[in-house]
Amino acid sequence: MLTPTTKINTKQTGDISEMQFALWCAEHGLAVSVPLGDRHRYDMVVDTGKRLLRVQVKTAWRDNGKTFTVSFVNLTTEHGKVVHRSYRGQVDVLVGYNALQKRFYLFGPGILAQLKRDIVLRYQPSVNNQTKGIRLASDYELTDVTQLDAT
């Protein structure tokens, strides 16, 4: 079980998040196909019965009990330099998995086009009632398979 004290590397953490989402899909009657190798920009293809979706699964991080972050890029090196690569236009949806909460968050092409690197989601509204720039986790939470077709 993935807990805050588990010592595993980032590849293992990502694999667990992908498996958790594939399990969620299977439990909801969706077919999942996984490409051979890990050189593709998407982790899996989900057949919703209406369409095939290229899905990238990312693990939430920096959870401080009030907010958490989901990254919309991957890090790689090119010629010795760190490069951030967006998934924009290369996946149909990005699914963030919060392992501490055991919840999934769905991001379609619209939000992927708006944000450059990360999204910070709040568990609760801000104490000072600020709404500008605030994104509530509940607005993105994936709870039903029909949300996948709505992206």
Q: For each of the chain's 151 residues, which pLDDT tens digit applies? A: 556 566 788 889 999 999 999 999 999 999 999 999 878 899 999 999 999 999 999 999 988 899 999 998 888 888 888 888 888 889 999 999 999 999 999 999 999 888 888 999 999 998 898 888 899 999 999 999 999 999 8
User: Considering only CA atoms, which of 90, 91, 87 is closest in space to residue 76?
Assistant: 87
Domains along the sequence of the chain with CATH: 10-149 (3.40.1350.10)
CA distance 26 to 32: 7
3-state secondary structure of 27: helix
CA distance 20 to 100: 13
Amino acid at 53: L
